[in-house]
Amino acid sequence: MIGVDQEFAGKRVMITGGLGFIGSNLAHRLAGAGAKILLVDSLIPSYGGNQFNIHGIEDLVRVNIADIRDTHGVSYLVHGQDYIFNLAGQVSHLDSVEDPVTDLEINCRAQISLLEACRRRNPEVKLVFASTRQIYGRPMHLPVDENHPVKPVDPNGVNKLAGEHYHLLYSELYGLRACSLRLTNTYGPRMRACDARQTFIGLWFRQIVERQVISVFGDGTQLRDFNYIDDVVDAFLLAAASPNSVGKIYNLGGEPVSLRALAELLIELNDGGSYRLVPFPTERKAIDIGDYYGDFRKICSELGWRPKTALRDGLRGTMEYFSSYAHHYW
């Protein structure tokens, strides 16, 4: 336990979406730091929550199964927390196109309930919201900084943006200590990997571990940036611990890499495998954003965050994890 982790020793920390990919990794880290952890998760099938994600820390966390749309339940649970990491969400872009209203209920309306509950029952809490680079839509320039115009390409982006705005608004109107991190592609152990519902890279790990051919959409030249989960956990802890983050938005981000180069790197690290270029399915093409990588200088300078894990190391660690625990993930 070093640096920022000490801040959380003995603190009461609630994580919405706590059995999900990022939430559970945060929980592992915070358990090591001696925090009193409450994980709130709906375990809606296909949303990414997985009981195995807390394997090894079951006795160090309290799990409360609840949907963040449950206004009364949430209102009770926020009481007395020192920190809330607000990660629960509908995260599938395609699902949001099929059912925008459900996405709205979770990513927007439930956020209002949570914030109202904090304002009324726990106005001193520090809140960190998990936002997304999806809200920018197709970049007008690269890298994309926090002032880049927003033009979401799917309902998920619209609703996440509104959810983020509510956090900043409650900070402004009521002095609630909330901030938002705009995440880019996060990968690592405990991510949903059975299919491409959340992100293609989850499925790629499954494909490489199962010795299937990796499917790369389009010509594979599109650029993206990736953050390893440990670096993203760092960012959440720094944002929570710093008084400077209140009312702010921060991009995360990393070195841009083409999808093709990423697939090749996975194959190299795996000592074998293959990929093929496949045309974009129509429904994915409609919401694809082309090249993207984020400008993360603001969080570097204000919170001292930078990604530390080389892509190569992160991919290797993730493959090892899924090689060991595949049966819990697909």
Which residue, 168 or 235, is less far from a copy of itself as judged by CB?
A: 168
Rounded to the nearest whole angstrom, what is the least distance from the CB of residue 159 to a copy of itself in the complex?
7
Does 101 bind a copy of itself (CB under 8 A)? Our answer is yes
Nearer to a copy of itself, 105 or 302 (CB): 105
CB of 112 to a copy of itself, least distance (A): 5
In terms of C-beta density within 10 A (0-12 exposed, 13-18 middle, 19 or more buried), how is residue 121 classed? Answer: middle
Closest to a copy of itself by CB, 13 or 110: 110
- Distance, in Å, from the CA atom of 25 to the CA atom of 11, rounded to the nearest integer, reads 17
Helix/strand/coil for 308: coil
Size of the site for a copy of itself (CB under 8 A): 30
| Stretch binding a copy of itself (CB under 8 A), from 31-39, 147-155, 181-189, 289-297 | 147-155
Compare residues 174 and 325 and give the one whose CB is closer to a copy of itself.
174
Task: Compare residues 172 and 313 and give the one whose CB is closer to a copy of itself.
Answer: 172
From start to end of the chain, where are the E strands?
Answer: 12-16, 36-41, 61-65, 83-86, 126-132, 177-183, 185-187, 213-217, 223-228, 249-251, 256-258, 274-278
Residue type (1 letter), 34 = G
Query: Using the rule CB under 8 A, which residue among 43, 169, 261, 265 binds a copy of itself?
Result: 169
Give CA separation, 95 vs 18, 130, 222, 258, 268, in Å: 21, 19, 23, 25, 33
Residues within window 190-249 making contact with a copy of itself, judged by CB under 8 A? none
By C-alpha distance, which of 26, 52, 98 is closest to 192? 52
- Edge-to-edge strands, sheet with 249-251: 61-65, 36-41, 12-16, 83-86, 126-132, 177-183, 249-251
The alpha carbon of 218 is separated from its chain's Cα centroid by a whole number of angstroms, namely 25
Q: How far is the CB of 100 from a copy of itself (least distance, A)?
A: 5
Stretch of residues binding a copy of itself (CB under 8 A), selected from 2-10, 60-68, 112-120, 267-275: 112-120
Q: Is the CA virtual torsion 82, 110, 232, 53 positive or negative?
A: positive
- How far are the Cα atoms of 68, 87, 124, 185, 227 from residue 224, in angstroms, in the given order? 31, 22, 37, 8, 10
Pattern 250-289, binding to a copy of itself, x per CB under 8 A?
------------------------------------xx--
Instruction: List, as one string, the DSSP characters of 16-47.
Output: ETTTSHHHHHHHHHHHHTT-EEEEEE---TTS
Chosen residue from 12, 43, 79, 100 binding a copy of itself by CB under 8 A: 100
Query: According to CB under 8 A, which one of 57, 63, 97, 267 is a site residue for a copy of itself?
Result: 97
Which SS3 state, helix, strand or coil, does residue 315 take? Answer: helix
Report the residue from 161, 179, 240, 262 that binds a copy of itself according to the rule CB under 8 A: 161
Q: Which of 154, 225, 234, 264 binds a copy of itself (CB under 8 A)?
A: 154
Pick between residue 166 and residue 205 the one whose CB is nearest to a copy of itself. 166
* From candidates 159, 185, 251, 309, binder to a copy of itself by CB under 8 A: 159
What is d(CA 25, CA 208) in angstroms, rounded to the nearest whole number?
22
Binding site for a copy of itself (CB under 8 A): 97, 100-101, 104, 108-109, 112-113, 116, 147, 149-155, 157-159, 161-162, 165-166, 168-169, 172-173, 286-287
